[in-house]
Structure 1
């Protein structure tokens, strides 16, 4: 893994603040939002059907509909973060509204003697698959490395002269150079030897990372499902994912030694990053009733083909005490008041789902069913994520994305996700419970990461109306790197996120 951290750090000398491997996970490693019924049962829907959430798991499940149904899902997300960085603990909370599937399903029996289908249905819906609303905040005392060293690596690896240092890296190194966070290193004759950081690393600095994140993955979905003799169900769907992500980052380092004569007091770096993208994907699936009580299912999700446009603004303020005093600089001032813009494409991983369900009592008459036990297993190829430059990009940019893609392959692997859920019916009330575990996408076992869901809920069915209410608790483990360096072990924060979602789904059957 270290070799690709090195490769990526070198690549950052090509384009300041471009994609990193962590960006690859944002579009793939998450527990998808579903309707309240599916969420209560751990997200299982690979061999159940009869729920609009099936359009986002196994589209064959839409083929079980023989009537029309309108559905609305909305909820509230509770976030609590605990991060440990270099022995220091930090915690915060951030809450937000989110929504699940909203749309309709229209199904009808087939009356044509020429049709091989018993019935068919189509569904049109929109869903917030993932919410990025969060706050990642941590601090700690560091005597081994500094944020400023990434700028040294960038300037030195590029063999940048002072003119380039002033103007060629306006979202990073140029800000550091203009505010004297880094300065030139010259010999007695004034010849440029390289660059140096004014951070007193040997005595240590207090570091603080604070990123407020907003946005999510929303998808418009059109799915068709067909029923063959109430035994075999086939389905397919087209999705239009819409991704929005905003990050307001404030990073600082401060000298807490009390020494006012070491040419460094503090620096603060601010970055405003906005990314928006749209794309297309497809899902195919089948379900089969092996017997009156047993169902099996299989689904395949193609990669999403996404086109992105990113905007970035950055600023820095540095106090080097008697060396140069307090200096400030912004990327806007160096770019005619404009944000930096980057356009590129991303291909997300493949996803394969296998599922089995055991239905309690008669499977054909839903009024006689007394519940189900179901399990899904997913295989996701995280290492297959790819970035490509937009049409018309130069060779330097294309080479950069090749390096990023190699880093993704080295850092990430395919993982398995397991979901288990059950429902018991006590007419007209249903009780549900579920569990899900999403494995780590990292090859390096030291990067301990996982996502776990525990959930439960209630549902009520009356003539023409159903209401489902669920609470799901998510335990997420991940890591956060404040910066990446070439020549040193990279320090990271261990991140534990406890997230709760209260979801309400209301539906009307016609």
Structure 2
């Protein structure tokens, strides 16, 4: 790895800037580890509870043993429309934003090689499948505003605090100013938001932020785009139509882009400062791989019991980033400084996952199914790419320790039911993604309510599902001894999805 990239990455981790382009932190680890309700419209309509159900293309991504239940080949295609809404509250200042996306959350193909009912043999043949699943949709718009108190420190004081914390001197800041910016406190120094001074009494050298007066208006707009998708290749087989086993390999691709604009403005005419603007943009692209192995037992016709495990997903990421800072003064020109676009590559391993489920069939009238899922978010960890000599550094030790200290193991729950009347299907479900935080001051649980319906004909079927998910989160643009603004965010996501299937 290039030495400059190593230095930039290490420095970025020390900065702690909540929106910085370079930072790989605990927020990124959770983003790629915590998945929502996914699958075909049939599966989403029952809350995603499918570990014991089988005979659906979605089995590839949860319990591939379900492939062994297919009696015919099948093709499915599932378009969907997602509505994302966020409500923010910062000290009583409320702002709402929305972003809607049209996508294809699922599609797949199963090739059935099942033996005929009159053919001998306990093993009833092998079915193969390939499926595409959208695991996460990152599209979101978040905005907030806040007005500070008369003497409340803001991001300007944070910049000065960074300079002190990192032991910056006039000499090395001037060198950065003349040779090219590579740090956040360097940008602030280059736009004259603080200076390095010496106390005449004590001789102490410290970073002194520029003088401002009165309350400060703070605003930020964050736009997030991208998705996390998985392509699965798998097989499933049946033993006497009582035991089903299967396995699949998942190739996960992800792209995440975040663009943020943070502003502060002062209205007082007694100081030179008028406003600042920090622009931040980064794009993460990653590819990962995992393995899933599962089993479903059908001891009697009315009962199915399923279990599966998924290995940790091993990702390789590349981040592209750029950052600019602007500052306005009423006694001179608008100052600006930018970090040149750069790139950094690294690895991320997400948690191991285990899922169990049961499905009870009520004769021809439908079924009830439920899943329980275990994973330990604190086991996610970052690592550096090999440096070409077979060794890696320890640049992510701090952030990995933060992941261990911040997150915990959880049990997630899903339950759903389907009622049948002739060719028609009616579905409902509920899913809980449990709070991943150890000691957060808010409840990070996500609740999803689902409804669905469909019609099944001889060779075709059509399903539709509606999923409504709600959860809370918190965000701070910077950390400053408890004086930073805290933004309470209510996330609401609604999805309408259709699945069209053809049996052959």
What is the TM-score normalised by the length of structure 1?
Answer: 0.89
Structure-1 separation of matches of 2:453 and 2:466? 9
Matches within 5 A, 1:113-152: 116-143=122-149, 144-152=152-160
* 4+ residue segments displaced more than 4 Å: 7-10, 13-16, 111-116
CA contact (8 A) 1:171 1:314 kept: no
Distance 1:497 1:284, change over 3 A: same
Larger mean Cα displacement after TM superposition, 17-26 or 209-218: 17-26
1:193 to 195, 199, 205: 205
| Alignment correspondent of 1:277 | 286
Alignment correspondent of 1:335: none
Question: Equivalent residue of 1:46, what SS?
Answer: coil
* Aligned residues of 1:456 and 1:470 also touching (Cα < 8 A): yes
1:177 aligns with 2:189: yes
CA distances 1:437-468 after superposition (whole Å, capped 9, x unpaired): 11111111413212111111111111210100
Q: Tell me if 1:464 matches 2:469.
A: no
**Is residue 2:500 matched to residue 1:494?**
no
CA distance in 1, matches of 2:73, 2:412: 32
Q: C-alpha distance in 1, partners of 2:121/2:317?
A: 43
> Separation in 2 of the partners of 1:467 and 1:51?
13
Which residue is 2:38 aligned to? 33
Q: Contact between 1:10 and 1:153, CA under 8 Å: does it hold in 2?
A: no
Structure 2: which 5+ residue stretches go unaligned? 1-9
Name the residue aligned to 1:300: 309
| Superposed displacement of residue 295, structure 1 | 1.2
Report the CA distance shift for 1:171/1:16 in structure 2 as closer, same or farther (over 3 A).
Answer: farther
Distance apart, 1:151 and its partner CA: 2.7
Counterparts in 2 of 1:503 and 1:403: CA distance versus 1, 3 Å = same
CA–CA separation in structure 2 for the residues paired with 1:305 and 1:149? 39
What does 1:107-506 correspond to in 2, within 5 Å? 107-110=112-115, 116-143=122-149, 144-166=152-174, 167=176, 170-187=182-199, 193-198=205-210, 200=212, 203-255=214-266, 258-322=267-331, 325-332=333-340, 339-361=341-363, 369-392=364-387, 398-485=393-480, 487-488=481-482, 491-506=485-500
Residue 62 of structure 2 is matched in structure 1 by 57
Q: How many residues align?
A: 485
Q: Which string of whole-angstrom CA distances, capped at 9 and with x for unpartnered residues, describes residues 333-363 of structure 1?
A: xxxxxx11111000011111111111111xx
Q: 1:393 to 1:81 in 2, by over 3 A?
A: farther
Is the 8 Å Cα contact of residues 21 and 321 (structure 2) preserved in structure 1?
A: no
**What is the CA–CA distance in structure 1 between the aligned matches of 2:42 and 2:153, rounded to whole Å?**
49
1:118 is displaced (CA, Å) by 1.7
In the alignment, the residues of structure 2 paired with residue 269 and residue 207 of structure 1 have an alpha-carbon distance, to the nearest angstrom, of: 11
1:132: Cα distance to partner?
0.5
> Which digits, 9 at most, give the CA deviation of each residue in 1:343-389, with x for residues without a partner?
1000011111111111111xxxxxxx321101111112111110001
Asked whether the 8 Å contact 2:235–2:248 carries over to 1, the reply is yes
SS of 2:144's equivalent?
Answer: strand
Q: Contact (CA 8 Å) 2:12, 2:23: kept in 1 or not?
A: no
Indicate if the aligned counterparts of 2:169 and 2:196 stay in contact, CA closer than 8 A.
no
Contact 1:39 1:472 in 2 (8 A): yes
* CA 1:397–1:227: 2 relative to 1, 3 Å: closer
Query: Unaligned regions of 5+ residues in structure 1, if any?
Result: 1-6, 333-338, 362-368
User: Per-residue deviation at 1:207?
Assistant: 1.4
Question: CA offset at residue 81 of structure 1?
Answer: 0.8
Give the Cα–Cα distance (whole angstroms) in 2 for the partners of residues 17 and 320 of structure 1: 29
Q: Distance in 2 between matches of 1:478 and 1:245?
A: 19
The alpha carbon displacement at 1:228 in A equals 1.0
Structure 1 distance, partners of 2:326, 2:228, is: 34
Q: CA, structure 1 residues 149+382, in 2 after alignment: closer, same or farther (shift >3 Å)?
A: farther
The Cα of 1:43 is off from its aligned counterpart by 0.7
* Distance in structure 1 (CA, Å) of the matches to 2:264 and 2:392: 31
Q: Distance in 1 between matches of 2:211 and 2:88?
A: 25
Query: 1:66, 1:120 within 8 Å by CA — same for their partners in 2?
Result: no
Q: By how many angstroms is 1:325 displaced?
A: 4.7
Distance 1:32 1:127 in 2: 11
Give the Å deviation of 1:491.
4.2
| TM-score, structure 2 as length reference | 0.90
CA positional deviation for 1:163? 3.9
For residues 278-310 of structure 1, give each alpha carbon's deviation from its aligned partner in whole angstroms, at most 9, with x where no partner exists. 011111111111322111111111111000000
In structure 2, what is the Cα distance between the partners aligned to 1:508 and 1:172? Answer: 55
SS of the residue 1:399 aligns to: coil
